Amino acid sequence: MFLEKDLSGRPQKGWVEVICGSMFSGKTEELIRRLNRAKIARQSVEIFKPAIDTRYSDTAVVSHNENAIRSTPVETASNILLLSGNVDVIGIDEAQFFDNALVEVCNKLAGMGIRVVVAGLDMDFQGKPFGPMPQLMAIAEYVTKVHAICMRCGSLANFSHRLSHEEKLVVLGEKNEYEPLCRECFIEQNKKK
């Protein structure tokens, strides 16, 4: 198993990395990049995604740029533990759609010496913390927040604005359903609703 070094120079066994941000910010692209690098380093890698995410593929994690990596769809976070096997790295996409047990699952995997790379929306369409993401960011050794570009003014965007009037929390969608907005434009758009 590949072992990173911590700041003291000792081998670091397992850890949790979180990649978060708004829609269209490159979260899945970064997840795929990190997992492909692990594969190049001859590390064994398993990737999981929520079974409800069938936007691009039933069995692959696919970025908006159409980069893809094979994955295993699962119904619940606890299934990840059952299907993990003997691996060095586990990737988890669309973490916001999993139940809160994902936090315990990631902690257990890291405790077993596995590098866990998780990607997901940090906020929902209302600008509120989404699912298990806040707890995952709290327990992670590494957190990377990526940003999109605001579709209204060109500033850095960290909000996922829903274009439809659908009120359900989970609405799978693409550019026809969501747009990334900066804070100012997000506030302005929500005043209009």
Q: How far apart are CA 105 and CA 122, in angstroms?
A: 18
If one counts every other C-beta atom within 10 angstroms of the C-beta of residue 1, the result is 14
Residue 160 contacts residue 23 (beta carbons within 8 Å):
yes
- pLDDT, residue 55, reads 63
- Render pLDDT for 84-132 as a digit per residue (tens, 0 to 9): 888 999 999 999 999 999 999 999 999 999 999 999 999 999 999 999 9
Would you please indicate which residues are annotated as catalytic (active-site) residues? 94
Structure token digits, residue 143? 């957190």
Q: Report CA torsion sign: 29, 35, 41, 42.
A: negative
pLDDT band, residue 1 (cuts 50/70/90) = very low
Q: Is the pLDDT of residue 66 over 80?
A: no
Element (H, E) at 167: none
Q: Cα 104 to the chain's mean position, in Å?
A: 16
* Residue 141 DSSP symbol: S
Domain boundaries along the sequence of the chain? 4-147
CATH number at 4-147: 3.40.50.300
pLDDT band, residue 79 (cuts 50/70/90) = very high
If one counts every other C-beta atom within 10 angstroms of the C-beta of residue 64, the result is 17
User: What is the pLDDT of the chain when averaged over all its residues?
Assistant: 87
What pTM was estimated for this model as a whole?
Answer: 0.86
Pairing label, strands 68-70, 142-146: unpaired
At residue 141's C-alpha, the angle toward residues 138 and 146, to 5°, is: 75
